[in-house]
Amino acid sequence: MPILIHGDAAVAGQGIVYEVTQMAKLPAYKTGGTIHFVINNQIGFTTDSVEGRSAIYCTDIAKIIDAPVFHVNGDDPEAVMFVSKMAVEYRQEFNQDVFINMICYRRWGHNESDEPSFTQPTMYSQIKLHKNVLELYNEQLVSRGKVDAKLAKSMEAEFKQFLQDRLDGVKQAEAPVFHPLKLDEEWKKLRYGSAEDFEQSPVTAISRETVDKIFTALTTLPEGFKPLKQIDKLITDRKKLLQDNGQVNWATAELMAYGSLLLEGKNVRMTGQDVQRGTFSHRHAVLHDAETNKTYTQINNIQEGQEQMEIFNSLLSEYGVLGFEFGYSMANAHALVIWEAQFGDFANGAQIIIDQFVSSCESKWGLQNGLVMLLPHGYEGQGPEHSNARPERFLQLCGDYNMVVANVTTPANIFHLMRRQLTWDFRKPLVIMSPKSMLRHPLNVSPIEDLTTGGFKEVIGDTFVDPKKVKKVLLCTGKIYYDLLDKQQKDGRNDVAIIRVEQLHPLPLKQIQQELAKFSKAKIYWVQEEPKNMGYWTYILREFGCGQLDVISRKTSASPATGFLKTHSEEQAALIQEAFA
């Protein structure tokens, strides 16, 4: 039974409260009802309630889902117990949220150590004269005649002694044996990852038989199902690409990764604002009948008895949804849990979850988590709110091998990267700067053999150039590779090598150095689409050491990207030209 404990100022003022309340009845997030217990001590640090909310009651947020609210006097312990039991019974009977608003006070202000009289002098002059709950309850019991004053005092003394004995015992003896929850047993079987684990990725390939089985499902519709014309074409193109060319595109490789995990008995869960079709209409994991609107999920129909992928279009929330998925991933050590932002820029709406939990949970609490964040990123002229997932923020949060940050350029690599999450015998959060326009780039395909052999490639070298002629090496990551490749191929520049860094953190320095060793006389540059003060440059500079390479990028800017397509095109052309100058 979920129980959330709120302060009155927090339940009225924090946006997360609205988000989780709005999630209460949604199929992707409902928990069977949550009990919200509000400790209404009428002081938000030093802010009065008249300054802290417009609503009459701090619990008025409950109105949005018609949840009942029990208002109760904190000076009456029996009343508090009564409404608590009633709230539990309501939740068990109706599987819906319920709120308890316990009106009370803090005797010594914020954290019981502040001087509240600075801002609430009249209220605290009354509190100083007010008897505490224990005194009031003792008087109540004595007045009832059920217990006398002597017994009430002895009960108080016994309870205080009980607490003291427990405190003394903890100080003197070994910690009591902790019996972990059943869910925790699975985490105990995993170990903590270290530097050595990132030397080379494990084999994550699947058999050709498994590929064919999943591909059959991805190109089959049930009898009588009438898809939209665009879906019909999508399936036809998917078949043609594999059958005629022996290749798969990004969407197919991604779905194959999920399908292969389902066949292995693993859970796969994905949420986000457009995840069923994908914001850029590439995934189409859930299909809709054009006439009846009935849905069909191909990946859930590979074979009898397989695990089922849970994929939900979420409410328009980042903060609450990412927090929920973080918790879901924490509860299941063997689930691939994915949150996809509509655009990577929108991850800033979930920054609190990222900072407080995703990046630091292992360091702060020794807790592992394998949550995956897909953040669409890339400069296509869509403006400052739809271009940049702020990779520099995530790289600033990286340390002690706490999480993986990647920006991959091949369907095979996204396939292996997803599978690697559950192949490792440890868990790390994974942040992917995922593609937009690159999803449909004609060269963004992989031979099927890349799925049936090997594993994730942290670095991809250049096979086009002549190492003896190379004067310039361009290190890059993500979508800009295809812009650089286009220029290299059109101009026949076999004197400029392009090396792709597919994993940013932990930075695969050994693999990078192995590729650079082929071009010992060449000048090395880092190339990025982002402005110089954003993107990967400062991180790369820190990891490589100053003076070893220079940067080619957009100029320093306060805005992530220009809002004008013409300006974007001019900037991008100048960037590519400079790279090959």
Pair 34, 74 in one domain: yes
**What pLDDT, on the 0 to 100 scale, is given for residue 223?**
93
For residue 72, is it within any domain?
Answer: yes
Given 130, 165, 180, the domain boundary residue is 130
pLDDT at 40 over 70: yes
Half-sphere exposure of 447 (CA within 13 A, CB side): 4
pLDDT at 146 over 80: no
pLDDT at 290 over 80: yes
Pair 250, 311 in one domain: yes
Cα distances (Å, whole numbers) of residue 446 to 251, 260, 484: 11, 17, 19
Pair 485, 434 in one domain: no
Do strands 295-297 and 335-340 pair parallel, antiparallel, or not at all (unpaired)? Answer: unpaired
322, 372 Cβ separation under 8 angstroms: no
Cα distances (Å, whole numbers) of residue 120 to 42, 103, 106, 127, 401: 10, 17, 12, 11, 47
**What pLDDT, on the 0 to 100 scale, is given for residue 176?**
62
For residue 292, is it within any domain?
Answer: yes
**What pLDDT, on the 0 to 100 scale, is given for residue 173?**
65
Pair 349, 392 in one domain: yes
Whether the ω angle into residue 506 lies within 30 degrees of 0, i.e. cis, is yes
Pair 255, 341 in one domain: yes
For residue 252, is it within any domain?
Answer: yes
pLDDT at 458 over 80: yes
For residue 7, is it within any domain?
Answer: yes
**What pLDDT, on the 0 to 100 scale, is given for residue 5?**
97
275, 283 Cβ separation under 8 angstroms: yes
377, 395 Cβ separation under 8 angstroms: no
**CA–CA gap between residue 432 and residue 344 (Å, rounded):** 9
pLDDT at 115 over 90: no
Q: Is 441 left (phi over 0), alpha (psi -120 to 50) or beta?
A: beta
What is the mean pLDDT of the segment spanning 373-387? 96
Identify the CATH number of the domain in which residue 218 sits.
3.40.50.12470
Pair 361, 230 in one domain: yes
Pair 487, 420 in one domain: no
Most confident region among 26-30, 192-196, 239-243 by mean pLDDT? 26-30
For residue 158, is it within any domain?
Answer: no
For residue 385, is it within any domain?
Answer: yes
pLDDT-derived band at 112, boundaries 50, 70, 90: confident
**CA–CA gap between residue 315 and residue 322 (Å, rounded):** 11
What is the separation, in whole angstroms, between the first and last Cα of the chain?
A: 64
Do strands 404-406 and 503-505 pair parallel, antiparallel, or not at all (unpaired)? Answer: antiparallel
Query: What are the phi and psi torsion angles at 286 (to 5°)?
Result: -115, 120
**CA–CA gap between residue 479 and residue 491 (Å, rounded):** 19
Can you list the positions of beta strands (E) in 400-488? 404-406, 430-434, 445-447, 459-460, 472-476
**What pLDDT, on the 0 to 100 scale, is given for residue 47?**
84
What is the mean pLDDT of the segment spanning 315-329? 97
Percent of the chain with pLDDT over 90: 85
What is the mean pLDDT of the segment spanning 46-64? 92
Given 108, 130, 152, the domain boundary residue is 130
Cα distances (Å, whole numbers) of residue 442 to 432, 438, 486, 527, 560: 21, 9, 11, 22, 27
**CA–CA gap between residue 321 and residue 317 (Å, rounded):** 6
Pair 426, 321 in one domain: yes
Given 410, 427, 452, the domain boundary residue is 452
Instruction: Give the domain range for residue 115.
Output: 3-130
340, 347 Cβ separation under 8 angstroms: no
Query: What are the phi and psi torsion angles at 12 (to 5°)?
Result: -85, -30
The mean predicted confidence, pLDDT, of the chain is 94
Find all residues with CB under 8 Å of 498, minimum gap 6, and list them.
462, 473, 474, 476, 481, 484, 485, 488
List pLDDT tens digits, range 147-193. 777 788 888 899 999 999 988 888 876 666 667 777 788 898 999 99
**What pLDDT, on the 0 to 100 scale, is given for residue 139?**
86
**What pLDDT, on the 0 to 100 scale, is given for residue 520?**
87
Exposed/middle/buried for residue 244 (C-beta within 10 Å: 0-12, 13-18, 19+) = exposed
Pair 363, 268 in one domain: yes
**What pLDDT, on the 0 to 100 scale, is given for residue 334?**
94
Supply 187's token pair.
């985490």
Nearest 5°: the CA angle 525, 439, 210 is 110
Considering only CA atoms, which of 142, 35, 50 is closest in space to residue 90?
A: 35
For residue 521, is it within any domain?
Answer: yes
What is the mean pLDDT of the segment spanning 435-449? 95
Supply 210's token pair.
């498994």
**What pLDDT, on the 0 to 100 scale, is given for residue 154?**
87
Can you list the positions of beta strands (E) in 273-390? 286-288, 295-297, 310-313, 335-340, 372-376
Pair 513, 443 in one domain: no
**What pLDDT, on the 0 to 100 scale, is given for residue 44?**
84
Considering only CA atoms, which of 190, 263, 249, 223 is closest in space to residue 414?
A: 249
List pLDDT tens digits, range 529-569. 999 999 999 999 999 876 789 999 999 999 999 999 999 99
What is the mean pLDDT of the segment spanning 123-152? 86
What is the mean pLDDT of the segment spanning 497-510? 97
**If you count DSSP H runs as helices and E runs as strands, how many of each does the chain have, helices first?**
21, 20
pLDDT at 111 over 90: no
The domain tally of the chain equals 3
Pair 414, 470 in one domain: no
For residue 144, is it within any domain?
Answer: no
pLDDT-derived band at 513, boundaries 50, 70, 90: very high
Considering only CA atoms, which of 529, 542, 429 is closest in space to residue 478?
A: 529
Pair 443, 466 in one domain: no
